[in-house]
Structure 1
């Protein structure tokens, strides 16, 4: 690289603005921050070279800019360390693209943050005592961790175990676990990440759905033993949402579809229902269809293990999160794939809630609902 050329690291469209005047120094008719940015990995006045990554790629830097940016570099170059007198310094714990991102921040306060590099930038910002860069990485991750990338970032965090990353990712996973269990990233999870998820004391799915997720994970991880993971699942847990109970008179009759509208200022996250079951069968297959107006939102079939033939049980049926919007009409249809001609139902169900109300379709003379409660959570704006 020409040591008098500051344009080598700039996009081609910008390079004409940063050429050197013949026989003189820098051009001063371009913004100062652009001149600083042009110094990144540039031999012009460079007094230290970093050999970065597995390939030991040379990256040129300027000690003064590093020293005024970080106590770490101040100690490195002004302390009793071998680096203080060395013109070449090895940096083997990161690749060149990450190191260049860090230099860009030091030289001109810019950083090219992405979901793919933010966690690693955070790690090295801590190492180099770049507190502002560390705060930017935290802010970026908190804003950009979402349902599409939470599993991947959660798994990456096994290398670092930063608590704020775990908390953000686990909050999303525990809220809508079935959506994550069905994703392509789930079977690629490492065992430790799976243990942390399964050990959650609150999660919006049943134990049987956790066991089913474990069986699917095993298909891609045949060498793994399931005994300890099965014991983790068997531990007592609760759901990570609210139970909205229905009240009314119990009766043994044919149930009807439940058609209702939400009267509330906010939408609701809807995760599952409770259904009355009284059957002599050891396994009761139940189909649930949820529709908004005439459009089907979800249709699932769940096999419920009926452990007590002598009593009326309540089967908790969970599915992927659905959003119920105020003012729209929703219909929940429950079908038993068995000889259950008559069911235990609640007649004309009502709810008791300070702010939330459900309006039931009054086209039916009498509503008989096999549903005992809804699992949901208010979405706050």
Structure 2
């Protein structure tokens, strides 16, 4: 073969390659995965068109890839269904952007998950029997539901009522409800979502704080008859955390600040305190200030209803979650609206096999009006 023929043959091969590259969009200098992805909604060799969403947007696909990926599509195209012989299939229950992400996963194992689209993709992963996509979506949601988006996702889940979403969201909300009661998304909660939260049998807040949350929600939802929701709140509740109790001798003495450091290998989530109250007044104002290494972590004011003036009562006071770190020094200062002596514990001690407190005081005998701390262990 002479040089001229060789040049002519090479030119022809180059032209064929060029025509393939420009006519179907395949670029052979890219990875195989990229070429697969380029086939998504590509007319080249497409043998089925899906008319997607309310506007019936056409999306081109390839039956063989769909059949390999899913039993659902295998049955659709190889079974006794109308779709098996049709080149155009109506899909009205999904929007085009979600359907394209489903195809992206089928074609090349990729998916662009976001907080906004994950629930929709999960729904259609179930429908199309794409188990790996369903598991990937679950992992994504479990890792990305946080304090910033939990109320929005919880509300969105009313459309589906997926138990794993409810469990994850309610775990966060019930642990630190006061943060979410003040969140900008709280008053936008639908009625059903709010009822689920209010009916919680374990939640880290007082009854009054729960009722105040309902009142705040009602201000922005005046069309709703909120009084019916009170009935779901009238139940015996406990707290979604542990109680670290102080033990010691009780006495009438002037209350003092409690200064302490935690002695354990991990931090603690701190939700509230219990304090002794002895007063003839029906309502008692209690002010609490918490400092870390002399810097204020928060100041709180509580209006406590003293239902039994003849007894020494324990007021459970909850605030937004704080994190207590080992070896740092913390101080809790408690002041009451009434004058006179307070009931205290002398030389309080913690009896716990894992959590210890190092107590410091300028007095020979430490006195504290605090009866217990509400906490959880933080383990990474």
TM-score, reference length from structure 2 = 0.92
1:192-244: CA deviation from partner (whole Å, max 9, x where unpaired): 11111111111111111100000001011111112331111111110111111
The whole-number CA distance in structure 2 between the counterparts of 1:118 and 1:253 is: 58
1:67 is matched with 67
SS in 1 for 2:146: coil
Deviation, 1:279, is 1.3
The whole-number CA distance in structure 1 between the counterparts of 2:48 and 2:232 is: 53
Whether the 8 Å CA contact 2:242–2:375 is kept in 1: the answer is yes
What does residue range 21-32 of structure 1 map to in structure 2 within 5 Å? 21-24=17-20, 26-32=26-32
The whole-number CA distance in structure 2 between the counterparts of 1:260 and 1:23 is: 77
Whether the 8 Å CA contact 1:20–1:27 is kept in 2: the answer is no
1:259-315: CA deviation from partner (whole Å, max 9, x where unpaired): 100001111111000011111221111111111012111111111111111111110
What does residue range 1-381 of structure 1 map to in structure 2 within 5 Å? 21-24=17-20, 26-336=26-336, 338-381=337-380
User: Relative to 1, partners in 2 of residues 1:247 and 1:50: Cα closer, same or farther, differing over 3 Å?
Assistant: same
Whether the 8 Å CA contact 1:50–1:61 is kept in 2: the answer is yes
Deviation, 1:366, is 2.8
1:14 is matched with none
Whether the 8 Å CA contact 2:284–2:338 is kept in 1: the answer is no
SS in 2 for 1:22: helix
The whole-number CA distance in structure 2 between the counterparts of 1:294 and 1:105 is: 54
The whole-number CA distance in structure 1 between the counterparts of 2:19 and 2:121 is: 39
The whole-number CA distance in structure 2 between the counterparts of 1:59 and 1:379 is: 48
SS in 1 for 2:238: coil
The whole-number CA distance in structure 2 between the counterparts of 1:93 and 1:137 is: 19
Whether the 8 Å CA contact 1:207–1:234 is kept in 2: the answer is no
SS in 1 for 2:19: coil
Tell me how large the CA RMSD over aligned residues is. 1.5
Segments of structure 2 that go 5 or more residues without pairing to the other structure are 1-14
1:305-347: CA deviation from partner (whole Å, max 9, x where unpaired): 11111111110000011110000000001111x2322111111
